[in-house]
Amino acid sequence: MQPGLRYYPGRLDADAQRQLVETLRGTVAEAPLFTPVMPRTGRPFTVRMTNLGVLGWVSDREGYRYQPTHPETARPWPAIPGALLELWRAVSGYHHDPEACLVNFYNGGAKMGLHRDEDEDDVSAPVLSVSLGDTAVFRMGGPERGGKTETLKLASGDVLVMGGASRLCYHGIDRILQGTSTLLKDSGRINLTLRRVTRP
Mean pLDDT of 76-81: 98
- Per cent of the chain over pLDDT 70 is 100
Task: Output the pLDDT for position 3.
Answer: 85
CA atoms within 13 A on the CB side of 183: 27
CB atoms closer than 10 angstroms to residue 200: 10
- Position 175, amino acid: R
Q: Could you report the per-residue pLDDT of 8-65, keeping only the tens digit for each? A: 999 999 999 999 999 999 999 999 999 999 998 999 999 999 999 999 999 999 999 9
pTM: 0.94
Instruction: Give the C-alpha separation, 85 to 108, whole Å.
Output: 30
Domains in the chain, CATH or no CATH each: 5-195 (2.60.120.590)
Mean pLDDT of 115-119: 90
Mean pLDDT estimate for the chain: 95
Instruction: Give the C-alpha separation, 11 to 146, whole Å.
Output: 31
Task: Output the pLDDT for position 158.
Answer: 98
- Which one is predicted more confidently, 131 or 148? 131
